[in-house]
């Protein structure tokens, strides 16, 4: 199966890119360069970059389609208790007092509006994080090295790597000098992996053992090198993981499941009372049929604890607020309940739950310690008290 780049008007004929017979880690640097038509001394030209950018698209992970405010609104409206309240309000507007119908409508809008507002606030906070920085990478094109946005990188581009920089796409190493990369975000291994551009590995080599490859989302921890991009966007190893993760349907939390079961029970209780009591009153002649129906609706409205969703939302919102004070942003309030239900975490990977980095918490200058050493030393020859460092 071949991928042919479309020819653009006014440009030179594009280079045909075919799927290689061997894996990238089983090809020499010269073979990879020849496959992409890339010169390691000059890189790609602008015409080729534009053609490949049109073919493969920007180098970014496809974002999942976000629910609109109206979709969240409709989802909340479909809850059993809300539907019963809505039906009650409609019948009251037809047979009863319009004031009672408006009251029920206000209660419904308050319940649904609280959830919609929380969803909007979380989306706004997450969107704000994406504007904090614009990721860039050093790329060689037209014989010049320049820093450019990661989204503009295409297969065949030459990227220059150095310690502290994040790898922008999957790439085959061409040159490496004491190069090591942190691949914990992809493989879970917190120890940096040594890289060697001159190695040739079998096709079936495991991802964590491909020492001549670099992958999007990992970080160079030491050394420097040059690599040629072989995959971008959703075609990278990280993109494939993201694609699989998005296919998993998010299960209901324990609180959501319990609330749903309680809603069904309360709905049946409310329906039972709203039918049985008015029916007996109508059969005994105490109320007319219309009065009996309105009485049943009043019983249903009184039986449903419409303030319960508001109380639960407020409790979860307080939990989210406390997390926010600790610099943690909660995208969905249900995550607060899930986090609170955790009792034990079993993990065997260092760096999986932490940031896999250390920082200095206190600093004790050497000169000050030497000057104040006698004063800080204990009377019986104990060690001087030094501030704790991490």
Distances in whole angstroms, Cα of residue 308 to Cα of each of 74, 76, 109: 19, 14, 14
Q: Coil, strand or helix: which one is 37?
A: coil
Q: By C-alpha distance, which of 247, 252, 235, 224 is closest to 332?
A: 252
The label of the residue with tokens 């297969």 reads 155
Q: Coil, strand or helix: which one is 230?
A: strand
Cβ neighbourhood burial of 384 (10 Å; 0-12, 13-18, 19+): middle
* CA R_g for the chain: 32
Q: Which two tokens stand for residue 275?
A: 């039918």
* Among 21, 348, 367, 374, the one annotated catalytic: 348
Q: Are 71 and 24 in contact (CB under 8 A)?
A: no
Q: Coil, strand or helix: which one is 166?
A: strand
CB atoms near residue 219 (< 10 Å): 18
Rounded to 5°, the CA angle 60-65-69 comes to 135
How far apart are the C-alpha atoms of 92 and 297, rounded to whole Å? 8
Question: Where is 52: in which H helix or E strand?
Answer: helix 46-56
Q: Coil, strand or helix: which one is 213?
A: strand
Q: Is there a catalytic annotation at residue 45?
A: no
How far apart are the C-alpha atoms of 55 and 49, rounded to whole Å? 10
How do beta strands 144-149 and 136-141 pair?
antiparallel
> Which are the catalytic amino acids?
348
């Amino acid at each position: 199966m071949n991928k042919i780049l479309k020819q653009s008007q006014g440009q030179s004929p594009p280079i045909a890119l075919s799927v290689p017979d061997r894996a990238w880690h089983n090809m020499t640097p010269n073979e990879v360069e020849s496959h992409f038509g890339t010169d390691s001394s000059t890189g790609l030209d602008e015409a080729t970059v534009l053609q490949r950018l049109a073919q493969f698209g920007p180098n970014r992970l496809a974002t999942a389609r976000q629910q609109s405010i109206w979709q969240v609104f409709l989802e909340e409206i479909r809850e059993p208790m809300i539907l019963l309240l809505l039906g009650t309000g409609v019948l009251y507007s037809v047979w009863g007092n319009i004031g009672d119908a408006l009251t029920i409508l206000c209660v419904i809008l308050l319940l649904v509006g609280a959830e919609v507002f929380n969803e909007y606030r979380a989306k706004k906070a997450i969107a704000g994080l994406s504007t904090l920085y614009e990721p860039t990478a050093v790329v060689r094109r037209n014989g010049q090295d320049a820093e450019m946005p990661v989204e503009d990188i295409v297969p065949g581009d030459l990227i220059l790597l150095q310690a502290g920089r994040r790898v922008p796409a999957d790439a085959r190493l061409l040159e490496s000098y004491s190069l090591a990369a942190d691949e914990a975000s992809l493989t879970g291994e917190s120890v940096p992996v040594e890289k060697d551009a001159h190695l040739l590995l079998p096709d079936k080599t495991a991802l964590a053992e491909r020492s001549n490859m670099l992958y999007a989302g990992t970080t160079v921890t030491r050394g420097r090198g040059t690599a040629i991009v072989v995959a971008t966007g959703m075609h990278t190893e990280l993109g494939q993981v993201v694609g699989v993760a998005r296919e998993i349907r998010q299960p209901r939390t324990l609180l959501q499941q319990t609330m749903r079961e309680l809603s069904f029970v309360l709905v049946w209780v409310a329906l039972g009372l709203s039918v049985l009591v008015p029916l007996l009153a109508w059969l005994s002649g105490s109320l007319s049929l219309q009065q009996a129906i309105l009485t049943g609706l009043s019983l249903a409205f009184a039986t449903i604890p419409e303030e319960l969703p508001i109380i639960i939302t407020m409790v979860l919102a307080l939990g989210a607020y406390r997390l926010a004070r600790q610099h943690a942003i909660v995208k969905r309030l249900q995550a607060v309940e899930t986090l609170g239900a955790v009792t034990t975490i079993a993990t065997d990977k260092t760096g999986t739950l932490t940031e896999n980095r250390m920082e200095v918490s206190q600093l004790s200058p050497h000169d000050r310690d030497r000057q104040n050493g006698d004063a800080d030393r204990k009377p019986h020859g104990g060690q001087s008290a030094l501030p704790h460092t991490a």
